[in-house]
Homo-oligomer: A and B are copies of this chain.
Amino acid sequence: MPLADEESHLGTARLTGELARTTSQLRLFARAVVEGSYLEATIDHPDATTIPPTPDLRRMLRPLGPVAVFGASNFPFAFSVAGGDTASALATGCPVVVKGHSAHPRLSRRTAEVVAGALAAADAPDGTFGHVEGRAAGIALVQHPEIRAVGFTGSLHGGRALFDLASSRPDPIPFYGELSAVNPVLVTPAAVEARAAELAAGLAASFTLGVGQFCTNPGVVFVPAGSGFAELVAAEVGEATAPDAAAPMLTDGIASAFADGVAALAGHDDVRVVAGRAGNGSNAASAPGTGSPVVLATTAAAVIADPQALFAECFGPSTLVVEYASIEEALTAIRAVGGSLTATVHAEPGEDLADILAVLTEIAGRVLFAGWPTGVAVSWAQQHGGPWPATTTIHTSVGVTAMRRFLRPVAYQQAPDAALPAELREDNPLGIPRRVDGVLVVPGAEARPA
């Protein structure tokens, strides 16, 4: 833990929580493996009446092969060496080679030792897990003939380059990248009327959490014009914007990219700085490697006119409050945002959300109706992924279904029972849920009311 804090500056409270999340994530995948649904075991008995006739066919998912995992800078435990990609790949039975992130090399090495030791203790085959370091090793991994898939969490720029490498191999492989998101939030006029102060406090807490270094940071927040919401958020942030309150970020590079990004936004003709320091090409007057909160404001009309400039992800503790003239205008602007990991609506009970939901579900993989998008539960129903550039994939990198990325289907036709994997034998020795002749059968399930 001291090692993790020394390398990441995230503080022991956050890191202790993240470690608990990491181990409970491993346990959740273990439960999913035992439960067995993830295998999609399916049995069709012979049927001579179909065209063409159906022979005995049995299908299940099997491990895809060795997986390369790129550790993330911002989650030294939960998305790094023993993080979600590694856990979901190992859970499917795939060997994993992790490329540790340069932001925490010593923690990565130490974690790799722990993982290797645990696998050896569980009699996993030699070679089930490996750990490499450095940019060249990462590129070599993506191009290695034996690697069958890549899990990546990081920047749009770096992720796109690796995606292109994976796609241009002689045998292209899936590249599961989680790249960039601004996570729009829409506050309806009724909601801001009813509870502006509560919403401002919630937003301030969310976008500054962990010095803003979350992929689910609420980066743009749509509020009614004239609501004064940006000023409320600024008041909530308050003294955190003082130069001596700046907090160390993950790396010097991330801190300077944040300062540059904020300065570029602040330099836009239609953007005003409501709180924080964003002048002169840096999150200025802070110590190097640190960042402090910045609240910016603009209008939906400006966003619609220039979405590329105004919706660049600014990884760090900033948020852009966008004032809209009407919900329709806000939705047009949100469509211009493009793909995101999350989208949030704050409305009052009884409001008709149909038009809003149609847009939010189109652009995001997770839609929130309360709370804030930071804090990603690891569960069966989680979805962490969204349309480009949020992710490169129709799958998730968090939650049980993340395993699907590292599995491929195999069907066995007219196999003798003894030659089949246990999962597909007629008497279901493992007792897993299976689809038999089109009907889902859950062993031991009681009849339940529909």
Contact = CB atoms under 8 A, between A and B. Distances in A.
A371 B415 CA distance: 11
A54 B412 contact: no
Nearest to A32: B438
B51 A366 contact: no
B172 A163 contact: yes
Interface of A: 17, 20-21, 24, 31, 35, 37, 40, 42-44, 47, 50-55, 57-59, 62, 64, 163-164, 167-168, 171-172, 174, 338-339, 349, 353, 357, 361, 364-371, 375-383, 385, 387-389, 392, 394-396, 399, 401, 405, 407-416, 419, 428, 431, 433, 435, 437-438, 440-450
Contacts of A17: 51-52
Contacts of A415: 367, 369
Nearest to A391: B408
B44 A379 contact: yes
A223 to B, nearest CB: 20
A44 B163 CA distance: 33
Q: How many copies does the complex hold?
A: 2
Given A51-B24, A377-B53, A440 B366 contact: no
A339 B62 CA distance: 15
A131 to B, nearest CB: 25
Contact of A416 (B35, B365, B369): B369
A113 B55 CA distance: 34
A50 B438 CA distance: 35
A40 B383 contact: no
